[in-house]
Amino acid sequence: MRMLAIETATEACSVALFEDGALLDSRHEILGRGHAERLVPMIAELPDKGRAEDIRVSLGPGSFTGVRIGLAVARALGIAWRAQVRGYPTLALVAAMARGSDAVPVTVCMTGGHGEWFVQDFGSDGQPVDDVASLAPELAGARELPGALAGSKAEELATRKRVAPSAIRLPEARHVLNLPPDILSESLTPLYGRPPDAKLPGR
């Protein structure tokens, strides 16, 4: 059984191919932009062009464009390969990377929209303790930290809290197997982390 993992929710773009629970190969690039151009070639560089029976893809929150690109590719490959496609929250992956083999709680702080930060706490079992919050930096700095601190804005939050952050900043697809199995979702609905900026006009 092979599994392909796709992560495109941040400035990083990564893919990983597993067979029977073992990592076969992976790619990880910090792109900023350009996920649409690099994602499919990165998958094609994997053994057998990344073909797998199981596909796991990031649902966000993060870059609106990046999340939708990853989902579109995962859906298309799922149809072409008749593979099962499931999604996972990006912040949960960052928490799993920061937790490693230690059973410790983790707060993940990532770049959000309009100068805000996405913040979410995870327990020592890797499960979310609360919902993702999109907060101004000063509000994020007022929150208590239950444990380790990770994410792309971890260093800035750590400065406000006067603590030492984890070295984990961005998600990588090769760590997907560290996620709690029940956090995977068959619903491939993007997680935006905040209400949309555009609103429908009132009647």
49 lies in the same domain as 145: no
157 lies in the same domain as 62: no
pLDDT band at residue 3 using 50, 70 and 90 as cut-offs:
very high
Report percent pLDDT > 90 for the chain.
89
40 lies in the same domain as 78: yes
28 lies in the same domain as 65: yes
6 lies in the same domain as 86: yes
| Strands 22-30 and 106-111, bridge-based pairing | unpaired
- pLDDT tens-digit series, residues 56-75: 999 999 999 999 999 999 99
In a domain, residue 197? The reply is: no
In a domain, residue 199? The reply is: no
pLDDT band at residue 198 using 50, 70 and 90 as cut-offs:
very low
In a domain, residue 55? The reply is: yes
110 lies in the same domain as 177: no
- CA gap 46, 50 in Å, rounded: 5
The letter for the amino acid at 150 is: A
| Burial (CB count within 10 angstroms: exposed 0-12, middle 13-18, buried 19+), residue 24 | middle
59 lies in the same domain as 139: no
The model's pTM is: 0.93
127 lies in the same domain as 145: yes
56 lies in the same domain as 28: yes
Q: What are phi and psi of 98, to 5 degrees?
A: -70, -35
Is residue 200 predicted with pLDDT exceeding 60?
no
- pLDDT tens-digit series, residues 71-119: 999 999 999 999 999 999 999 999 999 998 788 999 999 999 999 999 9
CATH number for the domain that contains residue 132 = 3.30.420
Among the listed ranges 87-101, 150-164, 181-195, which one has the minimum average pLDDT value? Answer: 181-195
- Report the chain's terminal Cα–Cα distance, integer Å: 52
